[in-house]
Amino acid sequence: MLKKTIFLAALSILFLCSILQTPSYAKERKGEVVFEINIDAPENSKDVRLWVPYPVSDKEQTIKDIKIDGNFSKSGVYAQKEKGDMALYAEWKKPSKVRHITMTFKAKAVERVKRDFSSIKISAVNEAKEFTQGSQYIPTDGKIKDIALSITRDKKNILEKAEAVYDWVIENTFRDPNVQGCGIGDVDRILAVKGGKCADISGVYVAIARAAGVPAREVWGLRLGKKPVEEITAGHHCWAEFYLPGYGWVPVDPADVRKAMLAESLDLNQAKKYRDYYFGAVDEYRIALTKGAKGYVL
């Protein structure tokens, strides 16, 4: 029987801005990102393997000049069969005192604004139906279903339902600064305790949206620094998107609303500018790494 052992990897991420921002580029951020990973495994370990999210370009971000270096035996870039996300894979076949890998790339991100809904005719969901289904990590039955039905009962279409879920999540959760990292996205737990961080709050949004018949998914990414050179190892972030038929994927970030409310001691009414902004938009200080999945199938 094949035995698997999971080792910890020490991760360091650095962002180096390529130019100082000027007013004409206020909605764009670009620079170089450096991932440095050292694996904490016994020196005599064999067949050590690592998977790392591999960034790709899309309409809102440009990734180029990717360079991979390290003392690995083998590496490659692979697509996940189910979701299509890309992963950098590396393995170490021989005993080694140090196992390390570095991934460096240039990134440019722009503000994602998706709010011009006036010209579209909102129809029933015929696309992205898989994103209305529940899963091991995204429950859509029981209490989740009851909540979804109660807050969207009088809503006429996908857009109205998506916004109703967004409002409910903001009004019924809070940011807990004591939660480690981004949280683990345990939806049932967050509904019980109410507090969490970005993976928790975004997970609640996706679960309730799906239960209401709104296609939704999590987006896992990385915040880019706001300084010319900045350590961004703690900058991992999770937000959400819902799919609007006839339009496409629309970003929402209720977790950043609750983060702003905590940082600035705002109540729900005082946070109106953040609530309005993060429904249909996210800032330029982030890149997406994976969409619609919580990890890699091993």
Query: With 60 as the cut, is the pLDDT of residue 133 above it?
Result: yes
DSSP codes joined into one string, 203-246: HHHHHHHHHTT--EEEEEEEEPPSSSEEE-TT-EEEEEEEEETT
Number of Cβ within a 10 Å radius of residue 197: 24
Whether residues 41 and 100 fall in one domain: yes
pLDDT tens-digit readout, 41-57: 888 888 899 999 999 99
Whether residues 43 and 148 fall in one domain: no
Domain count, the chain: 2
Q: Are 212 and 165 in contact (CB under 8 A)?
A: yes
Q: Longest Cα pair distance anywhere in the chain, in angstroms? A: 63
Could you list the beta-strand ranges (E) of the chain.
8-17, 28-40, 48-53, 61-70, 74-79, 86-92, 100-110, 112-113, 174-175, 195-196, 216-223, 229-231, 236-244, 248-252, 281-282, 286-291
Decide if 297 is inside a domain: no
The predicted model gives 56-73 an average pLDDT of 95
Whether residues 164 and 105 fall in one domain: no
Q: Residue 28's domain spans which residues?
A: 8-110
Any idea what the Cα angle at residue 107 is, between residues 250 and 232, rounded to 5°?
90
Domain boundary among 110, 128, 144: 110
> Which of these, 6, 33, 36, 3, lies nearest to 18 by C-alpha position?
33
Decide if 213 is inside a domain: yes
Whether residues 97 and 119 fall in one domain: no
Whether residues 59 and 86 fall in one domain: yes
pLDDT given for residue 81 in this prediction: 66
Domain boundary among 54, 77, 110: 110
Tokens representing 226 are 């706001």
Any idea what the Cα angle at residue 216 is, between residues 210 and 222, rounded to 5°?
140
pLDDT tens-digit readout, 219-246: 999 999 888 888 888 899 999 999 999 8
Whether residues 189 and 66 fall in one domain: no
Decide if 290 is inside a domain: no
Whether residues 129 and 273 fall in one domain: yes
Whether residues 176 and 259 fall in one domain: yes
Instruction: For residue 69, name the pLDDT band (cuts at 50, 70, 90).
Output: very high
DSSP 28: E
Whether residues 85 and 132 fall in one domain: no
C-alpha dihedral sign at 143, 203, 11, 39: positive
Decide if 291 is inside a domain: no
Decide if 33 is inside a domain: yes
pLDDT tens-digit readout, 76-96: 999 876 666 899 999 999 888
Number of Cβ within a 10 Å radius of residue 285: 17
The strand pairing partners of 70, in sequence order, are 101
What CATH number has the domain bearing residue 214? 3.10.620.30
Tell me if residue 172 falls in helix, strand or coil: helix
Q: Are 206 and 216 in contact (CB under 8 A)?
A: yes
Decide if 288 is inside a domain: no
The CA R_g of the chain, rounded to the nearest whole Å, is: 20
pLDDT given for residue 82 in this prediction: 62
What CATH number has the domain bearing residue 16? 2.60.40
pLDDT given for residue 255 in this prediction: 98
How far apart CA 167 and CA 153 sit, in angstroms, is 14
Whether residues 13 and 152 fall in one domain: no
Decide if 93 is inside a domain: yes
Whether residues 106 and 122 fall in one domain: no
Decide if 154 is inside a domain: yes
Whether residues 17 and 78 fall in one domain: yes
Domain boundary among 63, 86, 110: 110
